[in-house]
Chain A
Amino acid sequence: MIPGYITTNAPALLIAVPLLGAFLSPLIGRISRDARALWVLAVMTLTALIGYLVAFLVYTEGTLLYVFGATEATLTIPPDSGGIPIRIIFTIDAMSALMVTIAVTVGFAVILYSLTSDSRRSGLEAYYTIFLLMIGAVLGMVSTGDLFNFFVFLEISSLASAGLIAYKVERGRAVEAGLKYLLVSTIGGIFFLFAIGILYGQYNALNIAMLADMIQWTPLDKLALVLIIAALAAKCGAVPMHFWTPDAYSMAPSAVTAMLVVASQASLYGLFRFCFTLYGVTLNYLTIGWVIIILGVLSMIVGVTMAIPQKDIKRLMAYHAVSQTGYMLLGVGVGLAVLGDQALLSSYGTTAMEGGIFHIFNHAMYKGLLFLTAGAIIYQVGTSDLNRMGGLGHRMKWTMIFFIIGSLAIAGIPPFNGFASKFLIYESVFAFSPILSIIAMVVSILTLASFVKVFHSVFMGPPLPGNEQVTEAPKTMLIGMAILATIVIVSGIFPQFFVQNLIAPAAQALIDQAGYVATVLGGV
């Protein structure tokens, strides 16, 4: 059915196709705008198909390995290397496969959406190149099994994101947001590189599995972990370093914002990957777990309280994104805090992690959907000020429906997917610490209140003067939103199916450090 050389090389093609497509798109753009649009869509479709193939292979046959430049794709330790995995190795386990699925799904929806929503702008040849580059970088971040390779993809995604955030210029304001993002991520990247240097200096290895096999808990390792957590928490927008999020999310084109959410979650994935797989039980899991829980709770509270008074629709959603990131940190943090205790882990730790990881999936879908609806409204109305919208309900019916789906999902109302993951988090966190669970519920209620306000001021009431001529958003934009909305509904109605088949293997993959090491090092 599918030729063997494609299945073997799928992890490499996952990166090669978007990158090659990105580099060719300026040349194709010389022919005509339509040719470029078709090319970009074709590249993204192909990437998505490869992504699903990779995920399918991982979920059916177990962890996929890909060794770059070796004679065979699974030859992790060449005979002449002295027992060290010297090449760059892609290690795609169930957790990575979940992230790949999220990235290609959202990527496909936003590319489809942006073919219309950004077609009015100038300088599109660079726009799509950078967009594909960013998608490729996110895919690389989640599939690599090499510390330095992760850093390289992290920097590519930072640079591409910063370029896209500043893309609109907007009398300099978008550039200001891009600059903030770039400064935060560059300094974060340098911290991360320091951590890599510290680990390399001690263990002479860069492969995550190789390092995980040897790692101790020396003071230098502690320093490296602190640097890694600081860098990646800044990149995913957790609270003390969240100040770039509202600016960047609100000033970027909406399609980019939806993809930025995924890029932030790739950093979050990195944070979890290094805590669980690289350090595992060697780290002081109770302390580090609590650090992550506190980061999460702070993000939840600060995010939602800052969101309520906002007047700009995308800024408001951006603060909610900070708040939702808190749920993921909380869920997985609880899992980390009980990592060494098998009894507690099986009684509620795993459930909490499943909740947190399911929330990553759900958040990417509904938050992407919400940003796309906001983009559609801004595209048609021409402003992002909530006070100047109003009465759009009759004019933009489909957008309104998608907005309702997205906002009910983010507020955790059944039967949408936000409820399923939040319920897992409430339930398991309650067993760990009741007060945290109550905070999570209160934040959820505040989220609902905030979105009711937005819904009322955007869609209800008579049309404001100047909004009488507003029409429904173009078709490709609606299709992009419909893809995400369908996933939100389906994963909300059948959460059990998703949790059992996608999320639980991912949570297990994070916990099972020994399995990860054995796959790469061949059971050493």
Chain B
Amino acid sequence: MRMSKIVRFAADVLFGAIVIFGLYVIMHGHLTPGGGFQGGAIVATGAALVIVAHSYEEVIGMIKKAVLMAQESAGLVMFAGVALIAIGLGTTFFFNFLANSGSLFGMTVPFGPNPGELNTGGVLPLMNIAVGIEVWGGLAIVILYMLSGIGKKEEA
């Protein structure tokens, strides 16, 4: 079923804003409330909005299930991979090897009131990004499958 042109246009305009907001929440997960899961859920809401506004057949052309599934796996592999790198460096699984190292996300947290330094947190931002990618793909695919009905559910 197609919604009216106004709804579809508004959804298309909002989609970009929602995705950018979701990515912001993912990126700033270690500084502000939120994080990978919340940001990923916000981005998936954008996908849900587009699905509701357009018909299922149209959306299938725009959003590829295969891409979403690859995203889901890639996010999880990145999460576990970052945790595994720490073992390679001679510490334990999940050790935060980037914190205070001076390299990527390795700045020391500045003392006192500040607007939040993005370049801190070590592996936490990386994990947030991984979770964000995974939840984005995972929730969007859940919504897609629920809409497409169970005939296709068995393929999942």
Interface residues of A (CB under 8 A from B): 5, 9, 12-13, 16, 19-20, 23-24, 26-27, 66-73, 122-123, 126, 169
Q: Complex formed: what's the CA distance from A66 to B77 in Å?
A: 22
Q: Complex formed: what's the CA distance from A26 to B92 in Å?
A: 27
Q: Are A70 and B95 in contact (CB under 8 A)?
A: yes
Q: Are A72 and B92 in contact (CB under 8 A)?
A: yes
Would A123 and B156 be within 8 Å (CB), given that A16-B80, A16-B84, A27-B70 are in contact? yes
Which residues from 73 to 96 on chain B have a C-beta closer than 8 Å to any C-beta of chain A?
73-74, 76-77, 80-81, 83-84, 86-87, 90-96
Which residues from 88 to 135 on chain B have a C-beta closer than 8 Å to any C-beta of chain A?
90-96
Instruction: Jot down 14 A-B pairs with beta carbons below 8 A, ordered by A.
Output: A9-B87, A9-B93, A12-B92, A16-B84, A19-B76, A23-B76, A23-B77, A23-B80, A67-B92, A68-B93, A69-B86, A69-B96, A70-B92, A72-B91
Q: Are A69 and B95 in contact (CB under 8 A)?
A: yes
Chain A residue nearest to B81 (CB atoms) is A20
Q: Does B155 contact A (CB under 8 A)?
A: yes
Chain B residue nearest to A88 (CB atoms) is B94
Encoded as 1 (CB less than 8 Å from any A CB) or 0, chain B from 56 to 82 comes to 000000000000011011101100110
* Shortest beta-carbon distance from B121 to chain A in Å: 14
Give the residue of A5, A16, A123 whose beta carbon is less than 8 angstroms from that of B154.
Answer: A123
Q: Are A20 and B70 in contact (CB under 8 A)?
A: no
Q: Which residues of chain B come closer than 8 Å to A23, judged between CB atoms? A: 73, 76-77, 80
Chain A residue nearest to B95 (CB atoms) is A69
Q: Complex formed: what's the CA distance from A12 to B84 in Å?
A: 9
Q: Are A20 and B92 in contact (CB under 8 A)?
A: no
Q: Are A5 and B90 in contact (CB under 8 A)?
A: yes
Q: Are A24 and B77 in contact (CB under 8 A)?
A: yes
Q: Are B96 and A5 in contact (CB under 8 A)?
A: no
Residue from the set A9, A123, A169 with the largest chain B CB neighbour count within 10 Å = A9
Q: Complex formed: what's the CA distance from A23 to B96 in Å?
A: 22
Q: Which residues of chain B come closer than 8 Å to A122, judged between CB atoms? A: 154-155
Chain A residue nearest to B66 (CB atoms) is A30
Would A12 and B95 be within 8 Å (CB), given that A19-B80, A27-B70 are in contact? no
Our count of residue pairs bridging A and B at CB distance below 8 angstroms stands at: 62
Would A68 and B92 be within 8 Å (CB), given that A24-B73, A26-B69 are in contact? yes
Would A126 and B73 be within 8 Å (CB), given that A9-B87, A16-B84 are in contact? no
Chain A residue nearest to B76 (CB atoms) is A23
**Nearest 10 interchain pairs by C-beta:** A12-B93, A23-B76, A69-B94, A20-B80, A68-B94, A23-B77, A9-B87, A26-B73, A73-B92, A23-B73
Q: Are B77 and A20 in contact (CB under 8 A)?
A: yes
Q: Which residues of chain B come closer than 8 Å to A16, judged between CB atoms? A: 80, 83-84, 93
Residue from the set B70, B73, B77, B95 with the largest chain A CB neighbour count within 10 Å = B73
* Shortest beta-carbon distance from B89 to chain A in Å: 10
Q: Are B95 and A71 in contact (CB under 8 A)?
A: yes
* Shortest beta-carbon distance from A185 to chain B in Å: 20
Q: Which residues of chain A come closer than 8 Å to B154, judged between CB atoms? A: 122-123, 169
Chain A residue nearest to B83 (CB atoms) is A16
* Shortest beta-carbon distance from B98 to chain A in Å: 13
* Shortest beta-carbon distance from A444 to chain B in Å: 42
Chain B residue nearest to A19 (CB atoms) is B80
Would A27 and B95 be within 8 Å (CB), given that A122-B154, A123-B155 are in contact? no
Q: Which residues of chain B come closer than 8 Å to A169, judged between CB atoms? A: 154
Q: Complex formed: what's the CA distance from A13 to B80 in Å?
A: 11
Q: Complex formed: what's the CA distance from A26 to B134 in Å?
A: 14
Q: Complex formed: what's the CA distance from A27 to B70 in Å?
A: 7
* Shortest beta-carbon distance from B37 to chain A in Å: 14
Q: Complex formed: what's the CA distance from A5 to B85 in Å?
A: 12
Q: Which residues of chain B come closer than 8 Å to A20, judged between CB atoms? A: 77, 80-81, 84
Q: Complex formed: what's the CA distance from A20 to B83 in Å?
A: 11
Which residues from 133 to 156 on chain B have a C-beta closer than 8 Å to any C-beta of chain A?
154-156
Q: Which residues of chain A come closer than 8 Å to B93, judged between CB atoms? A: 9, 12-13, 16, 66, 68-69
Chain B residue nearest to A69 (CB atoms) is B94
* Shortest beta-carbon distance from B91 to chain A in Å: 6
Q: Complex formed: what's the CA distance from A19 to B73 in Å?
A: 11
Q: Which residues of chain B come closer than 8 Å to A19, judged between CB atoms? A: 76, 80
Q: Are B156 and A126 in contact (CB under 8 A)?
A: yes
* Shortest beta-carbon distance from A6 to chain B in Å: 9
Q: Complex formed: what's the CA distance from A264 to B76 in Å?
A: 27
* Additional A-B contacts beyond A13-B93, A19-B80, A20-B81 (20; CB < 8 A): A5-B87, A20-B84, A26-B69, A26-B70, A26-B72, A26-B73, A27-B70, A27-B77, A66-B93, A68-B93, A69-B93, A69-B95, A69-B96, A70-B91, A70-B92, A70-B95, A71-B95, A72-B92, A73-B92, A123-B155
Q: Complex formed: what's the CA distance from A321 to B61 in Å?
A: 49
Q: Which residues of chain B come closer than 8 Å to A70, judged between CB atoms? A: 91-92, 95
Q: Are A71 and B77 in contact (CB under 8 A)?
A: no
Q: Complex formed: what's the CA distance from A68 to B154 in Å?
A: 37
Chain A residue nearest to B134 (CB atoms) is A23
Chain A residue nearest to B90 (CB atoms) is A5
* Shortest beta-carbon distance from A61 to chain B in Å: 18
Q: Complex formed: what's the CA distance from A20 to B84 in Å?
A: 10
Give the residue of A9, A123, A126 whose beta carbon is less than 8 angstroms from that of B92.
Answer: A9
Q: Which residues of chain A come closer than 8 Å to B155, judged between CB atoms? A: 122-123
* Shortest beta-carbon distance from A105 to chain B in Å: 24
